[in-house]
Chain A
C-alpha cells in the first residue's frame, strides 16, 4: 500500500536556518530511534493555513532539541471523519493500515497537533491493535514549559494582550484536556479571558462529526458564526485554538464578521513560536 520513501532527503534543511524534519524511514535506516513520533495529520500536511502550525511546532521541536520523526508520505488519514460520518469500514481500513505502519516502526510515543487524530489514535486504535502513548501538542508544550525547556522571554509581544481560548470538543470534552492549552497560553503572560461557554461547556466550532466536509443543514445561523460572536464578545484580539478544523471555522467566522483586521486566530504553538522568535 505504501511506497518506500527512499526518494526523500534524509534531512530537509537550508543553509541559513537549520530546522530538520527527519522521517521514520530515514531514522530507522540510520539505526536510530526517535523519542517521539510527530503525527502531522491531513490538515497539517495539506491545508495551507495549518501547514504554518505544523512548521511552527517543528521549529519548536528543533529549538528545544527533541529527537523526533514524522512518517512523511507513509502517514495517512486516521479515518476519523469517515467513522463519524458512519463509514466504519473505511475507518477501519485506514486504522488497520496505519497501525501496521506504526507497529512496523515500533512506535511508542506520538504527539499530534490535531485533536481528532489525538482522540482516534489514543482511544480507538488500541482495540485494533495499536497501543501508543499519545499526547496532544498542547500537553507536550505544557510539559516543555514545566520542565523549563521553553522559556518565554520578558518583553515578548504578547504581554498584556487579550487572548481567548476556544476549546476543541475532541481535546476538551472528549478527553478532558482543558488546562494544558491554557497553561501554555499563561506562559505568554497575556491576559487570558474565558468565553461564557468554555471547557466542559465549550461550544463546538461546527466542524466535528464530518460537518467540515459538507454544507450545514438548513438553520438560522452557522455554528462558527455563533461561536465567533461569543469570542468577539470577550474583547480579545487573539483567538487561540488547538485544532485545524477549529482554526478554519473560527477564521471563517471572523471574516464573516469583518473583523479579520483586528482579530487574529492562532494555534497555541504558533504563539509560542512567535514569542520565541522562531
Chain B
C-alpha cells in the first residue's frame, strides 16, 4: 500500500514537472518573439525596485486595506510553501511528518504559522470573491468592461475557489491527523506527545469526532492527497492563467522601465533618415548607448533592412512588452485610472495587455499544430486592438502609475500608433492637418512662423 502511494506520488510529481517545463519553454519562446532590448543594465536600481515593488508590494498599499489583504495571500503563498517541502518528502519517502521528530521544538511554531496564514488566505479569498461577485467592484464587472466577460471572469473565480479549497484541505488534514493521533491509531501513535494540536485546526477537531477510525484515516489520506495534487494541478493551471503574475511579477518589476514615464523611446533608424533629409552627416547619435538599447552592434551602419516602423504585431514589440502581457493579472487598476476609459471611450489599458497575451497564446497554438516557423495572417493591430482604442489615448501615464507591478501599456499603444502613422498613413484627418502645420509653420496650428514673436509687442501693454 505504502509503495503504491509512493509510486503514484512520484509519477504525479514527474507529470507536473514535465508539464510546467513545457509551458515555461513555450512562454519563454513567446516572450522572445519580441525585439531585443537591453534591460540588464543598472542592476542596483533594478534590484531595489524589485525589492520595494515586487517583494515589498509597495504599490499595492495605495489602498492600504486591499494592500493588506493581498499581502496576506502573498505571504501565505511564500511561507506555506515551506510546508510543501515536508509534504513532498513525505510523499516520496512514504513518511509521515518527516521533520517533526527532528525539529520538535520549533515544529509546532512552524505549523501554527502556516495555519494562521492558511486561515488568513482563506478569509481573504472569500472577501475577494465577495468584492468581485457580490459587492461588484466596478473594475471587475463585465457590464462595465467588455474584456472582463467569459474566461477572465471564470479564471478569477477558479483561482479564488481553488485557493479556498486548498486551504480547507490543509486545515482539515491537520485536524483529522490530530484526532488520529489522540486515538493512537496505527502509525499515527508515533507522533503522540511529539506533535501537539495546532492553533486553528484544533477547533475543527469536533467535526471528526463521529468518524470511525477507518473513516478518519480515509479522510486524512484524501485531504492530504487533495491538498498536494491540488497544488500540483494549480501550478500547471497558473501557466495558462492570469495568475502567472505570482511568478512573473518579480522579473517583470526587475526589468521594468527606469527612465521618466514621459520619455518616449527613440527610433535611431529614423534619426539616420532625418540627418540625410537635413543634409547633416549621418553620425551615430551623441550618446551611442541607444544603438545598444536596440540590439544593434555599435559601429555597424544602418541595418541592411530596417524592420517595420512601429509595431503591427507582437513580433514588432519589445520582449519586455510581451513579458508585461504574461505578467498582467487583469486587476484593472490601469483601466480604472485611464481618463479615456473613465469617460466611456473604448480604450482600456488592461485590454491592451490582455489582447497582447491572447495574440501570443494564439501564435503558440499555431506552433503546436504547424511547427515553430508557422505564421498566420492575423495581427495584434486590427484583429485585436482597433484604431479607435489607440487614438483615444492621452498618453497621461496614469495606467503605468497605477500598475502594482510596473506594466507599461502606453508603450504598446505608442508603438502601434507609430505603425499606423508611418507605415499606413492612417492618422485621423485632423492629426494630418496638425502634422502639416508643424512641417510648414513650425507650430501645430496654421499661423505664419513670422508671427511667432508678435506676442512680445504686447508685453508692455
A contacts, CB < 8 Å to B: 5, 8, 12-14, 16-19, 21, 23, 40, 42, 44-46, 51, 54-55, 58-59, 70, 72-73, 75-77, 79, 81-90, 92-94, 96-97, 100, 119, 123-124, 126-129, 131, 169-170, 173-176, 200-204, 206-211, 213-223, 225-227
Interface residues in B232-286 (C-beta closer than 8 Å to A): 259-264, 266-267, 270-271, 273-275, 277-278, 280, 285-286
Residues of chain A contacted by B337 (CB below 8 angstroms):
201
Instruction: Establish whether residues B422 and A86, one from each chain, have CB atoms under 8 Å apart when the complex forms.
Output: yes
Categorize the interface residue count of chain B. 35 or more
Indicate if B345 sits at the interface (CB-CB under 8 A): yes
Instruction: Establish whether residues A124 and B459, one from each chain, have CB atoms under 8 Å apart when the complex forms.
Output: no
Indicate if B438 sits at the interface (CB-CB under 8 A): yes
Give Cα A126 to B347, complex, Å: 32
Instruction: Establish whether residues A129 and B414, one from each chain, have CB atoms under 8 Å apart when the complex forms.
Output: no
- Report how many A-B pairs have Cβ atoms within 8 Å: 242
Instruction: Establish whether residues B414 and A14, one from each chain, have CB atoms under 8 Å apart when the complex forms.
Output: no
A173's partner among B270, B396, B460 (CB-CB below 8 A) is B396
Q: A93-B278, A123-B263, A218-B345 are in contact. Are A76 and B442 (CB under 8 A)?
A: yes
Of all chain B residues, the one with the shortest Cβ separation from A220 is: B344
Instruction: Establish whether residues A208 and B431, one from each chain, have CB atoms under 8 Å apart when the complex forms.
Output: no
Instruction: Establish whether residues A89 and B422, one from each chain, have CB atoms under 8 Å apart when the complex forms.
Output: yes
Give Cα A54 to B454, complex, Å: 12
Instruction: Establish whether residues B395 and A169, one from each chain, have CB atoms under 8 Å apart when the complex forms.
Output: yes
Give Cα A87 to B425, complex, Å: 9
Give Cα A222 to B344, complex, Å: 9
Instruction: Establish whether residues B394 and A208, one from each chain, have CB atoms under 8 Å apart when the complex forms.
Output: yes
Instruction: Establish whether residues B343 and A209, one from each chain, have CB atoms under 8 Å apart when the complex forms.
Output: no
Q: 6 closest Cβ contacts across the A-B interface?
A: A174-B262, A209-B395, A220-B344, A86-B421, A86-B417, A219-B344
Instruction: Establish whether residues B397 and A174, one from each chain, have CB atoms under 8 Å apart when the complex forms.
Output: yes
Instruction: Establish whether residues B459 and A176, one from each chain, have CB atoms under 8 Å apart when the complex forms.
Output: no
B271's partner among A92, A214, A219 (CB-CB below 8 A) is A92
Encoded as 1 (CB less than 8 Å from any A CB) or 0, chain B from 77 to 120 comes to: 00000000000000000000000000000000000000000000
Encoded as 1 (CB less than 8 Å from any A CB) or 0, chain B from 275 to 305 comes to: 1011010000111001000000000000000
Residues of chain A contacted by B393 (CB below 8 angstroms):
209
Instruction: Establish whether residues A45 and B443, one from each chain, have CB atoms under 8 Å apart when the complex forms.
Output: yes
Indicate if B346 sits at the interface (CB-CB under 8 A): yes
B345's partner among A51, A173, A213, A216 (CB-CB below 8 A) is A216
Indicate if B67 sits at the interface (CB-CB under 8 A): no
Encoded as 1 (CB less than 8 Å from any A CB) or 0, chain B from 408 to 439 comes to: 00000010011111100001101101110011
Residues of chain B contacted by A129 (CB below 8 angstroms):
285-287
Give Cα A77 to B442, complex, Å: 5
Instruction: Establish whether residues B442 and A210, one from each chain, have CB atoms under 8 Å apart when the complex forms.
Output: no
Residues of chain A contacted by B274 (CB below 8 angstroms):
89, 92-93, 96
Give Cα A18 to B460, complex, Å: 7
Instruction: Establish whether residues A90 and B266, one from each chain, have CB atoms under 8 Å apart when the complex forms.
Output: no
Q: State which of B9-17, B205-213, B220-228, B445-453 sits at the interface with chain A.
A: B445-453
Residues of chain A contacted by B431 (CB below 8 angstroms):
85, 87, 210, 213-214
Residues of chain A contacted by B417 (CB below 8 angstroms):
84-86
Instruction: Establish whether residues A169 and B286, one from each chain, have CB atoms under 8 Å apart when the complex forms.
Output: no
Give Cα A223 to B396, complex, Å: 12
Instruction: Establish whether residues B459 and A21, one from each chain, have CB atoms under 8 Å apart when the complex forms.
Output: yes
Residues of chain B contacted by A218 (CB below 8 angstroms):
344-346, 388
Residues of chain A contacted by B130 (CB below 8 angstroms):
none
